[in-house]
Structure 1
Amino acid sequence: MAATKKWIKRLVLILAIIPLLIFLAFVGAISFIDFNGYKPQIEKEVADYTGRDFKIEGSIDVSVMPFALSVGKSILAQPKGFANDKPQLTVKQVEIELSMWPLLLSKRLQVLSVELVEPQLHLLRNAAGKDNWSDLPQLSRLIPLLPSAQQAMHGSQNPLASPFVGSAHALTEDLPWHLQSLVLTDALLQLDDQQENFNVQLSQVNLLALDLQPNQSFQLRADFAYHHSLSPRTIHANITTQLEIDPQLQDFKFSDWQGLLQIALKKELATPQVHLTTKGAVMKLNLQKKRIQMEQLKLVGLNGEVQTNFTGTFGAVLDLQGELSANKLNLPMWAKHLALPLAQQNDPQWQSVNGDYQWQWRNHQIEIKPYQAEMLLKQDGR
C-alpha cells in the first residue's frame, strides 16, 4: 500500500513537471529564434493571399510573458492597375497577444487581443468604376456603410432608421472570431471615389472594444472625426456604447449609447462650432439592405432638445421617416448651425417648437409636420 502511494505521488509529480518542461523548452526555443528572418516568407504569404505586394519595414519580436507578437511598420501596396502613391494599408505597429497552451498542446493559434497603432486604410474607385476592395471579401462586406456622393450632398451625418429586417441575401459564410480586446490608436479610413468625384475621411479614430464575439453585446468606446468632401460639415464624436455584430459583419446593433458631438461647418459659412450631447436606446444597421432603425435618439444643444424615433434606408438617396418630441427647439437655428435641409428653416413660426411631430427626410429635404402656421399655433396651445 505504501509503495502504491509512493508511485502515485511520483506520477503526480511527473504530470506536474511535464507542462513546466514544455513551457521551458518553448521559452528556450523562442529566445534562440530570430523572427526577423521569417520576414520574406511572411511577406510572400500575405502577397499571395491578397494579390498585393507586402513589406514589413519594422522588426518582428515575440515575448513569452505575455505571449505576444509585435510587428513594426508594415505596408500593403495597392493592387495592380492602381497608382501606388498611397499604399492601400499601412500600420505603424501591430501588437497581437496569443494564447500559449492551445498552440503548444494542439498547434492551434488563438488570438486574445489586437492593437493597431496608426493604421491607415485607403480605398479607391477609379473613373471606370473599378475599386481596390472587392477582391478582399471581408473588407468588401463593410464598404456599403460608406455614404455616396448624393447622400453627403443632402446631409447624412445621422444615418439612423422601420422594424429592422435582416438581409434576405445574407452571406452564409461564418466568420468565427473572439477577442478579449481590440484597440485602435489614431486610425484613418479614406475613400477616394474618382467615378463620382468625392472623398470620405474617418480620421483620428481611437477605439477600445472589450470581449468581442459575434451575436454578443460588447462594450465599445470610440472617438473620431468624419468628413465628406461634398458635405459642409465635419463631425467630431466621442461615444460610449454597447455593440452587437453578426458573424457575417452585416448587422450592427448599437444600444445604450451616450456621447458628445462637435459639428463644424465650412469656414465660408461663418458659423460657430456646435456641441450636442447625445444618448439613445437602439440603433440598428443592415449593410446589405442599407436599412436603419433608431429608437429614442436624444440630442441636446442650441438651447433646446429633441428626441426622435425613425426608420428607413440610407445610401445614394436618404428615405427616412419618424416622429419627434421637441422642447424649446429653434428650427431655423438648428438648420443654420447644422446645415440641415429643413423645409421650415426660414419660417419664424418654428423658432420655439414644443410638442410631438411627424417628420420625413425625402427628396433631399427634411419636412416636419404639421407645417401650416395655424396648425402649429393650435398644437402649441396658442
Structure 2
Amino acid sequence: MKTWIKRIVLALAILVAVVVAAAAVFVLTFDPNAYKARLQEMVSQRFHRTLIIDGDIDMTLFPTLGLTLQGVSLTEPGRDELFASVEDAQVSVAIWPLLSKKLVIDHLTFSGVKARVVRDKQGRFNFADLVGGPAPVAATPDATPDASATQAAAGAPAALGQPVAGNAAASPMVGGMRIDIAGVDLKDGELQLQDDRAGLALTVTQLEATTGRVRYDQPFPVKLSAHLQGTAPVLDADLTGQAKLSLNPAGPRYAAEDMNLRLGGRLGDAQAKSLTARGKLGFDGGKLDAAGLELVFEGDVRDPGHPLSNVEATIAAPALMFDPARHEMRVDKLTVRAKGSAPRGPFELALDAPALSLTPAGASGATLGGRLRLNGSDSVDVRFGLKGIGGNVDALSVEEVKAQATISYDVQPAVQAPAVAPPAGSAAPARPAGKPGTRDVAITLASPLTLDLARRTGALPSVQGNIAITDPGLPQGAMQIPLTGAVSVDLAQALAEATVNAQLEGGKFDLKASVAQLATQPAITFALAVDQLDLDKLVPAGAPRPPAAGPAGKGKADAPVQPSAPADAAAQADAVDFSALAGATAKGTVSIGKLVARGLRADAVSGNVALARGRLELSGLSAALYGGKLAGAFSLDAERENAMSARLNLNGLAVGPFLADVAGRRALTGTGDVALDLKTKGADVGALKRQLSGAAQVRLRDGAVQGINVGQVLRDIKALVLSGKREDSTEVQADASRETAFSRLSADLAFANGVGTFKQLELVSPLLHVTQGSPARIDVGADTVDLVAQVRIADAPPRSEGLDELRGLGVPVHVHGPYDHLAYRVDWRAMAGDLAARALQRGLKDAFKRKSGKPEERLKDLGNVLKGITGK
C-alpha cells in the first residue's frame, strides 16, 4: 500500500514539474508581437479599418494575466483618418476566476487616449460598426464591396464567424462570462464630439477619470475632471465632479446617484462662476427619473440685447419623471428662483409647480404660478398662473391662464418750441406742450388653454384683456384699451397664428398675424387695420436735448466752458439701435385711418411692410396730410450701419402747419409740392444728419418766409442812405413776428455729407425777386444756415412801399446761424458802387432842379448822401 502511495506522489510530482516546465517554456518562448499582423488583418477584414500598433506588446501570466500596449491607433472605416488612439494601455485579468467563467479585470489603465466621435445627418455614429451596428459610409465610392465586406457592413459576423460584437457588449455576460472590473484609470484624454444632425461640436481635453469597482447594475464611484471647448454651442469651461454610476446596456439602464458636478467658465452667452448639478438621475429604456435634482448657477449673462450680471439662479425638482414612450410626466414641487441685475435695475424671478401629473388616462395638478419683478427707474411686475388643469396627455385643458403686468416708467416731454398759433383759416391745431411725469400701464390677460402634446399643438381660444394707462400727460389722465383675441400654435408645423381686436380711443384696432418656421427663422405675416392711432400718447417721447448754443459772442461773458462729457452723453442718448430687426422676417400691410406720430398728423395712411435679414422696406406708402397727398417708399438696413433711404413726394402740402407740428416752428408757409430723394447711415442721430446725401425740391405758392421782412430791410437801407449814416457791421436777429410774403418759391438742394447746397433758389413777389448768392447752404449736421440772398426790387414795385429809388438794385442779405438763433445783415460793400452811382445821379438832378436854397447847401446834401454810402 505504501508503495502505491509513493508511486502516486511521485507521478504527481513529475506531472507538476512537467506543467511548471511547460509553463516556463511557454512564458519564455511566447511572443505576443508575432500576432500583430494577424490582429491587424482581422480588424481590416472585419471592420475595414486600419489598426496600427507602433510599440511592443508585453504580457504576463502570473499572478494575473497582464497585457501592455503602446502606440495603438485605429482609423475610420475605409479611410486613413484617425478614429481613436492610445499612447499606453495596461490590462490585467485574474486567472483563477476565468475557470468559473467570471472575467475579473484587476485594473484598466489608459494614458493619452484620443478619439473622434461623429454622428452624421442621418443619425449614424462612426463607431456603430464596432458595436454591431451598420458601418458608416466609407469614402470610397468607386470601390465594389465583396461579400464579406457587405456582410460586415450589415453587422454580420463576416469571416470570423463570431457573435455580433454589439450583442455581447450589450449583455452583462460575454460568452457566458460575467465581467467584473476592479477599477479604471484614464489620464490625459481627449475627445472630439461632432453631431452634424444637431449642429453641435465639442472638444473635451485634459480628461482625467478614476472609478471604483465596476459591475453591471451596481453603483460604482467615479471622479473626473476635464476642459470643455466648443463653437456650437460656444463653450470654454472646466468640469469637475463625482457620482455613483450604474450601467446596464442591455436595458438600457443608466443611473447617477450622489451626483455633484461643477462647471466654471463660458457657457454660451453666460460666464459662469459655477454651474452645479446635484441629485439623482436615472435613464431606463427612454424613461427619465430625477430625485432631489438641483441646478445652481452663479455668474453673468452677456447677451448683447439683455445682459445680466451677478445672477443667482436655482432649479429644484424633488421628484421628476418623464416617459415619452408612454406619454407620461410627473412633477412634484418644482421651483425656479433667479435674481440679479439687469441694465435697468435688479430683477427677481419665481416659478412654482407644486404638483403636475400627465398620463393618457388623465391630467391633474395644483395651480402653477410665477412672478417676474424688475426694479429701477422703470419697474415691471408680472404675475402669471394656470389653474383648473384637466383632460389627459392627448387633450390637456386648463380652465384659465391668467397674466397680470404692471409697468411704470418716467415720461419726458417732447423736444419742441412753444406752441405756435395756426394762421387764420387753418384747421391744424397748435402742438401741445408735453407734461413730464410717471406713466403706469396695467395689463390683464386671461383665457382657457388647450394642449395636444401628442400632436404638439396648443391654443388660447378666447383671450380677454384690458390695458389701462395712467399718465398726467394724457387728456383725461388715463386711457383704457379693452381687447379680445385668440392664439394657436402648431409646433409640428412650426406655425403660430393670432388675432387681436381692441378698442383704441373709441376706434377699432384689428391685427391678424401668423408666424411660420418657429423652430428656425421665424417668418411673420400680418395685416394691421386701425381707425385712429396716436403714438405720441402711447409711446413716450425722448428726453429733451440741451438747447443749442447761440452765435459766438452772444452768450454771457462769464459763462463757464462746458466739458465734453455732456456732449458724449447727449450723443449716447441719441443712439439709434435697430439690431432687433436683424433676426426677424416679416411682411404685411398697414392701414391707419388717423395717425399722430412725433407731432405729425396724417389721414388714410397705408403701406406694405417687408423685413428680411435686417432690411426693412416700406413700399406703396400713401397718406393724406395737411391738405396734400404723400406717396413714396422708405428702406432701412440695420446690418449696414443703419443705412436709410427715402423717396417721398408730397403734393399740395400746407407747409406752415406741417412744420409747426413736426419741427415746432413755422419758418415757412405756403402750399405746394416737395420731392425728397435722400440717403444716410449712422449709429446715432448726429451721424445720420452728418452723412445725409441726396436731393430735395420745393415748389410753393402764396406763402411767406418768417423771421425777416425784406421790404422793411430795404426801407431801412433807404433811410440810412438818405440820413448819411452807415452801419456796416449791423446784425439783426431773426424775429418770428416778421415775414416776407411771396407768390412763388422754388428751391433745389443737393445734399452731401450732411450739407445741403442750393443749386437754385427763387422767390418772387410783387415787390421782390430773390435768388441765391454765395454761400448758399444748410448744414444739417450742425443745424446751421449760411445763405446769401440776392434781393432785387421788382421793375414796378407798389408805390405804397416807397422803394422806387432802389428799383433794380441788388441787395445782398446774409442769413446765418443755428436754426433757432438765426441772424441777418446787409452786405453794404457788395452794393456800395450801385448805391453811389444812384445817389450821385439823384443828387445832381436835385441840385439843378431845386429852385430854393443856395447851391452850396444843395451840394452839401449830396455829400451827406455819398458819405452815407462810402463812409468817407
Tell me which amino acid in the other structure corresponds to 1:76. L
Match of 1:99 among 86, 94, 102: 94
Distance 1:370 1:181, change over 3 A: same
After TM superposition, the score normalised by the length of structure 2 is 0.31
Whether 1:308 aligns to 2:317 is: yes
Cα deviation 1:135-161 (Å, max 9, x = unaligned)? 233689xxxxxxxxxxxxxxxxxxxxx
Q: CA separation in 1, counterparts of 2:121 and 2:335?
A: 44
Per the alignment, residue 58 of structure 1 pairs with 55
Letter in 1 for 2:289: Q
Counterparts in 2 of 1:198-237, with a 5 A limit? Answer: 198-237=200-239
Tell me how far apart the structure 1 counterparts of residues 104 and 42 of structure 2 sit (CA, whole Å). Answer: 19
Query: What is the distance in 2 between the residues matched to 1:209 and 1:118?
Result: 17
Q: What is the 5 A alignment of 1:1-382? A: 3=2, 7=5, 22-23=19-20, 25-65=22-62, 66-80=64-78, 84-85=80-81, 87-101=82-96, 111-126=105-120, 131-137=125-131, 174-176=171-173, 177-194=179-196, 197-248=199-250, 250-265=252-267, 272-280=271-279, 282-286=280-284, 289=286, 291-300=287-296, 302=298, 306-309=315-318, 310-312=320-322, 323-325=333-335, 329-332=337-340, 348-350=346-348, 357=353, 369-371=369-371, 373=381
Residues 332-365 of structure 1 deviation map (CA, whole Å, 9 limit, x = unaligned)? 56xx9xxxxxxxx9995516x6x955699xxxxx
Q: 1:261 to 1:132 in 2, by over 3 A?
A: closer
In structure 2, C-alpha distance between the alignment counterparts of 1:106 and 1:374, rounded to whole Å = 68
1:292 is paired with a residue of what secondary structure?
strand
1:204 shift after superposition: 2.8
Structure 1 residue 23 displacement after superposition: 4.9
Return the offset for 1:133: 2.7
The answer to whether the 8 Å contact 1:216/1:245 transfers is: yes
Aligned to 2:711: none
Deviations 1:6-39 (A, max 9, x none): 938x867976896676456424422223322221
Q: For residue 238 of structure 2, what is the amino acid of its counterpart?
A: H
TM-superposed deviation, 1:49 = 2.9
Q: Is the partner of 2:126 in helix, strand or coil? A: coil
Q: Determine if contact 2:56/2:69 at 8 Å carries over to the other structure.
A: yes
- Matched with 1:156 is none
Q: Structure 1 residue 313: deviation in Å?
A: 7.1
Q: Summarize deviations over 1:111-135 as a string: whole Å, max 9, x none.
A: 4432222222212345676652332
Secondary structure in 1 aligned to 2:371? Answer: coil
In structure 2, distance between residues paired with 1:113 and 1:223: 20
Distance 1:106 1:23, change over 3 A: farther
Q: Is the 8 A contact 2:340 2:347 kept in 1?
A: no
* Separation in structure 2 between the aligned mates of residue 196 and residue 278 of structure 1, nearest angstrom: 24
The number of residue pairs the alignment matches comes to 308
Q: Which has the higher strand share?
A: 2
Separation in structure 2 between the aligned mates of residue 203 and residue 313 of structure 1, nearest angstrom = 34
Provide the C-alpha distance between the structure 1 equivalents of 2:242 and 2:259, rounded to a whole number of angstroms. 5
Structure 2 counterpart of 1:32, one-letter code: T
Q: 1:15 to 1:227 in 2, by over 3 A?
A: farther
Could you tell me which amino acid in structure 1 is paired with residue 273 of structure 2? V
Letter in 2 for 1:191: L
Equivalent residues of 1:313, 1:320 under 8 A apart: no
Alpha-carbon offset, residue 60 of structure 1: 0.6
- Identity percentage of aligned residues: 19
Offset from partner CA, 1:58-89 (integer Å, 9 cap, x none): 11111345431101111111112xx534x111
Q: Deviations over 1:224-246 (max 9, x none)?
A: 33455322344432222211111
Q: Is the 8 A contact 1:27 1:64 kept in 2?
A: no
TM-score (norm 1): 0.64
How far apart, in 2, do the equivalents of 1:41 and 1:64 lie?
Answer: 21
C-alpha separation between the residues in 1 aligned to 2:257 and 2:122?
40
Against the structure 1 CA distance between its residues 210 and 346, is the aligned structure 2 distance closer, same or farther, given a 3 Å change threshold?
A: farther
Question: 5+ residue gaps in structure 2?
Answer: 135-166, 174-178, 299-311, 357-367, 373-380, 385-872
1:96 is displaced (CA, Å) by 0.8
What amino acid is aligned across from residue 371 of structure 1 in structure 2? Answer: R
User: CA 1:225–1:23 in 2, change beyond 3 Å: closer, same or farther?
Assistant: farther
The structure that is helix-richer by fraction is 1
* SS of aligned partner of 1:132: coil
Please tell me whether the aligned partners of residues 211 and 218 of structure 1 are also in contact (alpha carbons under 8 angstroms).
yes
Cα gap change, 1:370/1:330 in structure 2, threshold over 3 Å: closer, same or farther?
A: closer
Q: Is the 8 A contact 2:53 2:72 kept in 1?
A: yes
Residues 221 and 240, structure 1, Cα contact 8 Å, conserved in 2: yes
**Partner in structure 2 of residue 164 of structure 1:** none
Equivalent pair of 2:68/2:90 in contact (CA under 8 Å)? yes
**In structure 2, distance between residues paired with 1:194 and 1:279:** 30
2:707 is matched with which residue?
A: none
Aligned with 2:182: secondary structure? Answer: strand
Q: Answer whether contact 1:215 1:247 (CA < 8 A) is retained.
A: no
Contact 1:203–1:226 (8 Å) recurs in 2: yes
CA RMSD of aligned residues (A): 4.2
In structure 2, what residue type is equivalent to 1:296? G
The structure whose Rg is larger is 2
Structure 1 residue 311: deviation in Å?
3.5
Contact (CA 8 Å) 2:104, 2:181: kept in 1 or not?
no
| Aligned-partner SS, 1:253 | strand
Give the deviation of 1:216 after TM superposition.
1.8
- Aligned counterparts of 1:283 and 1:346: Cα–Cα separation in 2: 38
Instruction: Tell me how far apart the structure 2 counterparts of residues 216 and 107 of structure 1 sit (CA, whole Å).
Output: 19
Decide whether aligned partners of structure 1 residues 118 and 260 sit closer, same or farther in structure 2, where only a CA change above 3 A counts.
Answer: same
DSSP-derived class of the 1:174 partner: coil
Question: What is the distance in 2 between the residues matched to 1:232 and 1:23?
Answer: 61
- Tell me the alpha carbon deviations over residues 277-332 of structure 1, each in whole angstroms, 9 at most, x when there is no partner: 4432x21124x53x422211234563675532434379xxxx99664356xx5345
Q: CA separation in 1, counterparts of 2:340 and 2:323?
A: 26
**Which structure ranks higher in relative contact order (CA pairs < 8 Å, sequence separation ≥ 6)?**
1
Name structure 1 gaps, 5 residues minimum.
141-170, 337-344, 361-367, 377-382
SS at match of 1:31: helix
Secondary structure of 2:33's aligned partner: helix
Structure 1 residues 70 and 357: CA distance shift in structure 2, 3 A: same
Q: Secondary structure at the match of 1:211?
A: coil
Question: Given that residues 220 and 241 in structure 1 are in contact (C-alpha distance below 8 angstroms), is that contact kept between their aligned partners in structure 2?
Answer: yes
1:196, CA displacement in angstroms?
5.0
Native 8 Å contact 1:332 1:346 kept in 2: no
* Contact 1:113 1:182 survives alignment (8 Å): yes
Query: Residue 307 and residue 199 in structure 1: after superposition, are their counterparts in 2 closer, same or farther (change >3 A)?
Result: same
Q: CA–CA distance in 1 between the matches of 2:185 and 2:132?
A: 19
CA contact (8 A) 1:57 1:73 kept: yes
